[in-house]
């Protein structure tokens, strides 16, 4: 089966090359350590006796952020050394900035092709390999199996689309490639646990931690003084109502601009904080702001906002949790048509932010269902209703206060997923290494 995959992958890669080349050029940053993606990693320090070398792969900023507490646990353990890889340039920048000196090594994740994969496994020589969320790499998995190296997927999540594909009789032939005997899974929820079991994954190798993103918030950063300081920095006065657009995608900024303009016509003292999913869209968003006539400010030009600006464009990365403390309520992006899947609502909820999403939040269906049941989230059935719900929140301070309380109550119920995952890894290192 692996032979078929090795044959098909280069052919499919050639067909997809123009699309991915365009994405890399548009987003930038992929040239940094480019040869690492071909498995050409430098030689690492020799392995030490009684030291477990763990290789962790986290795709992007979101996955890396969810690892924060777990990485702190692992990096403080003198019997563990960590090699961290990522896929996106923004995620890699964040990893280098936050953990660079503490890691044994860090760099781009190699492509899942035999020559690249084999080379990097020889270079890194991990004792355990960990993947975050939903990554399934047949060639990398094969290399781990060949070397008898245990694999663990943490915060494991199968989207509706992935689960449907894996459940299909047409893809059952691929299960041995994707679910090798050296793979263990720590699921993000009971529903995800059930999905893995329904794919005939051995029950003794599936566990439940809860969602690691629950622990992504540095609680020490959240306080009233930080809120005052960041609002002052962004140019928001004490009596200004602030709505945040979080991880927004094309078209969603225009909806928020229209909302703010209509509220200001009603004499509501409101301002807009835009935190786009991709900071490199700054010029595109600026054009939308200019066309609307809304006075605005870009963070990359000067962190200090002005009182005259109505919209503040936070076109930087790695600052979401700090910036969101300036907001009074928020809209979560990638949730309005034509966009699909939604973005993770946990971070704003952890801050106690009343939150509204559009109808498309399929990638976080379970979390959103829980938040809805706890009245910590509102979801519009379409763009018009989403707009109306945001208007409702803007006008009703008691509703905002109630949702804020419900957000915090939901957070308190979630436990400590990072601690569970760390304890599982450390308590089972010997078992994992022995197979």
In angstroms, the Cα distances linking 323 to 4, 67, 141, 200, 244 are 48, 20, 39, 44, 9
Task: Answer for the pair 212, 188: CB distance below 8 angstroms, yes or no.
Answer: yes
Q: Is the pLDDT of residue 431 over 80?
A: no
- What is the bridge-based pairing of β-strands 52-57 and 80-86? parallel
Same domain, 274 and 367: yes
Same domain, 286 and 309: yes
* Mean pLDDT within 393-399: 97
How many angstroms separate the CA atoms of 202 and 186, rounded? Answer: 12
Task: Answer for the pair 59, 91: CB distance below 8 angstroms, yes or no.
Answer: yes
CATH code, domain carrying 120: 3.40.50.11720
How many angstroms separate the CA atoms of 61 and 371, rounded? Answer: 23
The reply to whether 274 falls in a domain is yes
The reply to whether 10 falls in a domain is no
153-173 pLDDT, tens digit each: 999 999 888 999 999 988 888
Same domain, 427 and 400: no
Q: Can you tell me which residue has the tokens 């009343």?
A: 354
How many angstroms separate the CA atoms of 345 and 364, rounded? Answer: 8
Task: Calculate the average pLDDT of the chain.
Answer: 91
Q: Is the pLDDT of residue 394 over 60?
A: yes
Q: Is the pLDDT of residue 220 over 80?
A: no
Q: Can you tell me which residue has the tokens 């066309």?
A: 291
Higher pLDDT, 333 or 92: 333
Same domain, 392 and 292: yes
Same domain, 173 and 227: no
* Helix then strand then coil, % of the chain, to nearest 5: 50, 15, 35
How many angstroms separate the CA atoms of 187 and 206, rounded? Answer: 7
At residue 107, the pLDDT reads: 93
The reply to whether 16 falls in a domain is no
* Mean pLDDT within 208-212: 91
Domain count for the chain: 2
- Can you give the residue range of the structural domain that contains 151? 33-210+416-434
Share of the chain above pLDDT 90, in %: 71
Same domain, 321 and 255: yes
The reply to whether 405 falls in a domain is yes
7-28 pLDDT, tens digit each: 888 787 777 667 666 666 666 5
* Mean pLDDT within 190-218: 90
Q: Which conformational region is residue 247 in: left (phi greater than 0), alpha (psi within -120 to 50 degrees), or beta? A: left
Same domain, 347 and 422: no
The reply to whether 255 falls in a domain is yes
The reply to whether 21 falls in a domain is no
Same domain, 253 and 332: yes
Same domain, 189 and 263: no
* Mean pLDDT within 264-273: 97
How many angstroms separate the CA atoms of 320 and 273, rounded? Answer: 11
The helix/strand/coil state of 57 is: strand
Q: Is the pLDDT of residue 216 over 90?
A: no
* Mean pLDDT within 180-201: 94
* Mean pLDDT within 81-89: 92
Q: Is the pLDDT of residue 39 over 70?
A: yes
Q: Is the pLDDT of residue 434 over 70?
A: no
The helix/strand/coil state of 300 is: coil
Q: Can you tell me which residue has the tokens 């006065």?
A: 237
At residue 115, the pLDDT reads: 94
Same domain, 355 and 426: no
CATH code, domain carrying 339: 3.40.50.2000
269-321 pLDDT, tens digit each: 999 999 999 999 999 999 999 999 999 999 999 999 999 999 999 999 888 98
Same domain, 200 and 252: no
How many angstroms separate the CA atoms of 223 and 180, rounded? Answer: 46
Band (pLDDT 50/70/90 cuts) for residue 435 is low
How many angstroms separate the CA atoms of 94 and 64, rounded? Answer: 8
The reply to whether 257 falls in a domain is yes
Same domain, 69 and 179: yes
Nearest to 177 by CA among 312, 391, 3: 3
Report residue 313 as tokens.
């464009």
The reply to whether 224 falls in a domain is yes
pTM score, whole prediction:
0.76
The helix/strand/coil state of 66 is: helix
How many angstroms separate the CA atoms of 308 and 224, rounded? Answer: 24
């Amino acid at each position: 089966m692996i032979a078929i995959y090795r044959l098909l992958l280069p052919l499919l890669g050639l067909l997809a090359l123009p699309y991915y080349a365009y994405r890399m050029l548009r987003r930038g940053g992929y040239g940094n350590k480019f040869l690492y993606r071909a498995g050409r990693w430098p030689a690492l320090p020799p392995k030490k006796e009684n030291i477990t070398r763990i290789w962790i792969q986290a795709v992007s900023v979101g996955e890396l952020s969810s690892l924060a507490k777990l990485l702190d646990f692992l990096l403080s353990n003198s019997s563990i050394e960590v090699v961290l890889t990522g896929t996106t340039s923004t995620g890699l920048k964040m990893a280098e900035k936050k953990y660079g000196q503490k890691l044994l090594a860090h760099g781009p994740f190699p492509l899942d092709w035999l020559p690249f994969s084999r080379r990097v496994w020889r270079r890194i020589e991990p004792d355990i390999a960990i993947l975050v969320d939903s990554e399934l790499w047949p060639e990398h998995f094969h290399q781990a199996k060949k070397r008898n190296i245990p694999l663990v997927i943490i915060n494991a999540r199968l989207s509706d689309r992935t689960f449907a594909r894996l459940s299909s009789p047409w893809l059952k032939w691929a299960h041995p490639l994707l679910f090798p005997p050296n793979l263990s899974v720590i699921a993000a929820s009971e529903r995800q646990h059930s999905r893995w079991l329904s794919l005939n994954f051995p029950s003794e190798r599936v566990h439940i931690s809860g969602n690691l993103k629950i622990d992504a918030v540095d609680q020490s950063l959240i306080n009233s003084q930080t809120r005052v300081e960041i609002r002052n920095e962004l140019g928001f006065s004490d009596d200004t109502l602030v709505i945040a657009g979080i991880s927004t995608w094309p078209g969603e900024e225009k909806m928020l601009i229209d909302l703010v303009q209509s509220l200001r016509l009603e004499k509501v003292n409101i301002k807009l904080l835009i935190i786009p999913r991709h900071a490199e869209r700054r010029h595109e968003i600026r054009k939308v702001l200019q066309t609307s006539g809304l006075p605005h400010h870009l963070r990359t030009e000067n962190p200090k906002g002005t009182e005259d600006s109505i919209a503040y464009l936070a076109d930087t990365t790695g600052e979401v949790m700090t910036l969101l403390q300036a907001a009074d309520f928020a809209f979560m992006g990638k949730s309005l048509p034509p966009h699909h899947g939604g973005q993770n609502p946990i971070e704003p909820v952890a801050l106690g932010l009343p939150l509204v999403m559009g109808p498309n939040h399929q990638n976080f269906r379970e979390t959103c269902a829980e938040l809805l049941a706890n009245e910590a989230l509102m979801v519009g059935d379409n763009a018009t209703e989403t707009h109306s719900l945001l208007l409702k929140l803007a006008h009703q301070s008691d509703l905002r206060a109630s949702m804020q309380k419900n957000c915090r109550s939901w957070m308190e119920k979630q436990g400590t997923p990072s601690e569970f995952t760390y304890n599982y890894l450390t308590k089972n290192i010997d078992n994992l290494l022995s197979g």
